[in-house]
Structure 1
Amino acid sequence: MKIVELRLCNFRNFKEQQFFFGDINVIFGKNAQGKTNILEAIYYLCNFRPVKTTKEIEIINFDSDFSYIKGIFEDNGDLIDREIYLTRDGTKKIKEMGFEIKKVKDISNRIRTIFFSPDNLSLVKGSPSVRRRFFDSLISEIKPAYYNYLKDYFRVLMQKNKLIKNKDAKFFYNRELIEVFNDKIIDFSSVIVKMRLAFLKKFIPFVNEFYADFSGNDTLIDLKYNSPIAEVGEFSIDEIKLKMKEEIKRGYQGPHTDDYIFLSGGREVKRYGSQGEIRTLVLSMIFSRGKIIYEYAGKMPIILLDDVLYELDYNRRQNLLKNDYGQLFITATDIKNLPGEILKRASLIGLPKEG
């Protein structure tokens, strides 16, 4: 799957612009010229939501009342035409092949993308909640049942917390009902933890494969699931439930507090890794996500890399760009430091663009 043409009208800083793409695309120019906006437009067409804002109308050009985006995608020789029209009053229309789409979920996973920006470094450097969101999102994408367990878990957890905080004594002291909630929480938690551990076994070999490609060395990355019940991977669900019950009595709150810790040579990357090592690790995670999606869906996602070359040395840049991962987009302020062989293969898009 790849995008071959993009038309923007009143999108961010672009009043009227058209772009054509190849397999490797390098978008270059000075800051504030719209490099990231092109990547965001592609992401928006595929996911129907902006990358960095919850207010969709912010993508509309300041001097306009509407924004229009059109992309033509190619899938094994077949062309897919997709359009999005958005107005300042919040009206949003999506069309595919000329037909208006009423339910986005019907086409939401047809064209997949992965977006990298410097903000993604928080996958290693940030709080546990950032890592949980990353893995919860990815596992849910390939195992929809996981999303349902997660949704049910948080629903029951919220109900229990609401009950405990209720000032009405007859509810507050209803220990029987609290125990019912606890049993449900244990049921859902046990499945969630087991599915997470099973997924990590599949994920970490991909991370090491890409890390070796990008770094050019044989350093192995280890991924530790940080939880009081992390050792239950081979346990049955019933055994996990017993362990979960014991740990909850000791104060364990549940899988919504667990963490993922990356180690290199036995040392925690978050604390001791260099900027280059952290960036290489995050890139390896992003590309591993793409590989797993490919195994699941049979199609490589479009990979959008914003400002990825910053703080990567020449060898890491070369190793990143020499491999074939499907359609690739990269932004850069300067193309002088890109490998010559890549520049020969790439479609070069310089900004500002005339016309």
Structure 2
Amino acid sequence: MSSLLLNKISILNYKNILDKTFNFDSKINCFIGNNGVGKTNILDSIYHLAIGKSSFSVSNENNINHDSEFMLLDGIFLVNGKEENITCSLKRNETKVLKRNEKVYKKLSNHFGLIPVVLISPYDTNLIIEGSFERRKFMDSIISTYNKTYLHNIITHGKLIKQRNKILKYFNKSAKVDMDSILIYDDQIIKLSKPIHECRKKFINEFMPIVIDKYNKISGKNEKVTLSYKSDLNDNGIADLLKKSFQKDMTLQFTSCGIHKDDLIFKISNSSIKRFGSQGQQKSFLISLRFAEFEFLKNNNYISPILLMDDIFDKLDIERVKNIVDLVNSSEFGQLFISDTDKIRIEKVLSSLKNSSKIFEI
């Protein structure tokens, strides 16, 4: 098994963090403080360096402190014993610069997968309550971490769909249809759709048993949970789908079928977890998804991802907290970062864990 560590991070003008430097323990690191002091932003800065973008902010400039003109993140990682210096800088009204050992990345996708990371946060509720985009993003981010061909196919497919939608809008407004133009994009979409669909099917078949196992261990109850893959391509070929939906797409001015409409269906006791799952069941399920993501990436990358746990113990009963701690103890976790408002709770958690630790009071 390969090794991955974050030794040190320097944070400058990142959201509400003006100037902080942390030297980390190789196992467990905890950030303690009241709400609003920046604990989540510290975890997000680690995520940002690992992935190349914030987990929370859509706009890059939202990451710059509102009284500052620039932000800088500087991390020293150890990947299989080799030091990797990752920096991310951004000035207002300029393009973000991501560097690896002083060398600028030409494409963000070239960095993706070097430093696998899993973030568990309160925002994970979006996976349940929001639309299918969030669940596709979840699925795609996991597969793309270890499969560069899939990442390339997803990016290319997204661009093709955008171009096809532009043509559909033009056809609708001009009342002129050039089928040769649309078929150029359809042919490329058809070639990419099958391998993407096959990758997703394979992923779900391997991923679902891990989720079920993690949920049972966290909940401590005999509740049946499932996740299934919903896709237009499960029962139809993409060529026929595009052909049959063309008139509808013309009216709607966007491509209404295909793998960009795929979804994941979450159920508990054969009912929608969104509609019928309790708050505790939903939170346990979401944490199970993330622990399953961790194990899946570890098994496919042969490296333990960095695990970020943002305020996950809040609103969980004592039994579920204990089960999560037991899960961490029994698994081959690498480096772990935890944020919490309750120092006493964290000290109790740390006392039951086997590894070395550091507490940072923010």
TM class by smaller structure: 0.7 to 0.9
Return the match for 1:6 from 6, 9, 17.
Answer: 9
Aligned to 1:333: 341
1:1-355 to 2 correspondences below 5 Å: 1-22=4-25, 23-88=27-92, 90=94, 94-97=98-101, 99-103=102-106, 105-167=109-171, 172-175=176-179, 178=182, 181-182=185-186, 184-230=188-234, 241=237, 245=240, 249=244, 253-322=257-326, 323=328, 324=331, 325-338=333-346, 340=348, 342-343=350-351, 345=355, 347-352=357-362
How many residue pairs match? The answer is 342
Compared with structure 1, are the counterparts of its residues 348 and 151 closer, same or farther at alpha carbon in structure 2 (3 Å cutoff)? closer
Unaligned runs of 5+ in 1: 233-239
Q: Mean Cα displacement is larger for which, 285-294 or 175-184?
A: 175-184
SS at match of 1:5: strand
**Amino acid of the structure 1 residue aligned with 2:13:** N
SS at match of 2:345: coil
1:87: Cα distance to partner? 3.6
Q: Mean Cα displacement is larger for which, 74-83 or 280-289?
A: 74-83
Partner deviation per Cα, 1:88-122 (whole Å, 9 max, x = no partner)? 4537555545x343535554432222222211111
TM-score (normalised: structure 1): 0.82
Partner deviation per Cα, 1:292-327 (whole Å, 9 max, x = no partner)? 222222211111121211222112112222324221
**Amino acid of the structure 1 residue aligned with 2:10:** R
Distance 2:113 2:143 in 1: 14
Q: Contact (CA 8 Å) 1:121, 1:282: kept in 2 or not? A: yes
Unaligned runs of 5+ in 2: 249-255
**Amino acid of the structure 2 residue aligned with 1:347:** S
TM-score (normalised: structure 2): 0.81
Compared with structure 1, are the counterparts of its residues 340 and 254 closer, same or farther at alpha carbon in structure 2 (3 Å cutoff)? same
Distance 1:176 1:85 in 2: 44
Partner deviation per Cα, 1:156-197 (whole Å, 9 max, x = no partner)? 444444444335999834446555655554443333323221
1:280: Cα distance to partner? 1.4
CA RMSD of the aligned region, Å? 3.2
Q: Contact (CA 8 Å) 1:28, 1:348: kept in 2 or not? A: no
Q: Mean Cα displacement is larger for which, 262-271 or 212-221?
A: 212-221
Compared with structure 1, are the counterparts of its residues 53 and 221 closer, same or farther at alpha carbon in structure 2 (3 Å cutoff)? same
- Aligned-residue sequence identity (percent) comes to 29
